[in-house]
């Protein structure tokens, strides 16, 4: 489960930026095409944040849908996987959204 390593890194990054302040809330953007399971991140977050500045912090996850752009006609299409076919018939699709993992916000007190 690579989500454990990812969550450890998220906790480390947020801790570094929080300084000595307790963290109340962390908001993440996770792309649906990123191969990261939000439920696994939620589970790992509780484990990884225990006895840290993030202990008792809430975790908000915003799932970003997959979006691609056809290289032939420029049409943007929704993607459920990293490849797809445009209505023009082309399968030359460039993924433009849905692979990201971002720490969008953190709230401290």
pLDDT tens-digit readout, 96-108: 999 999 999 999 9
**Which residues are paired to 28 by β-bridges?**
61, 103
According to the model, what pLDDT value does residue 1 have? 60
Domain extent for 20: 3-65+98-108
Q: Give the residue-averaged pLDDT of 21-33.
A: 97
Question: Is position 27 within any domain?
Answer: yes
pLDDT classification of 109: cutoffs 50, 70, 90: very high
Question: Is position 79 within any domain?
Answer: no
Is pTM beyond 0.85? Reply is yes
Number of domains in the chain: 1
- Locate all alpha helices (DSSP H) within 1-109, ordered by sequence: 3-18, 38-48
Question: Is position 103 within any domain?
Answer: yes
CATH of the domain at 45: 3.30.2320.50
Question: Is position 32 within any domain?
Answer: yes
Task: Count the helix, strand and coil residues of the chain and give each as a percent rounded to the nearest 5.
Answer: 25, 35, 40
Question: Is position 82 within any domain?
Answer: no
Question: Is position 37 within any domain?
Answer: yes
């Amino acid at each position: 489960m690579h989500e454990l390593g990812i969550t450890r890194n998220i906790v480390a990054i947020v801790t570094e930026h929080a300084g000595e302040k307790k963290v109340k809330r962390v908001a993440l953007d996770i792309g649906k095409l990123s191969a990261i399971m939000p439920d696994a991140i939620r589970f790992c977050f509780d484990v990884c944040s225990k006895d840290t500045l993030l202990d008792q912090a809430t975790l908000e996850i915003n799932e970003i849908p997959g979006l691609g752009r056809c290289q032939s006609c420029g049409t943007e299409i929704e993607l459920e996987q990293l490849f797809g076919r445009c209505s023009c018939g082309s399968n030359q699709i460039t993924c433009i959204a849905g692979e990201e993992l971002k720490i969008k916000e953190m709230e401290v007190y």
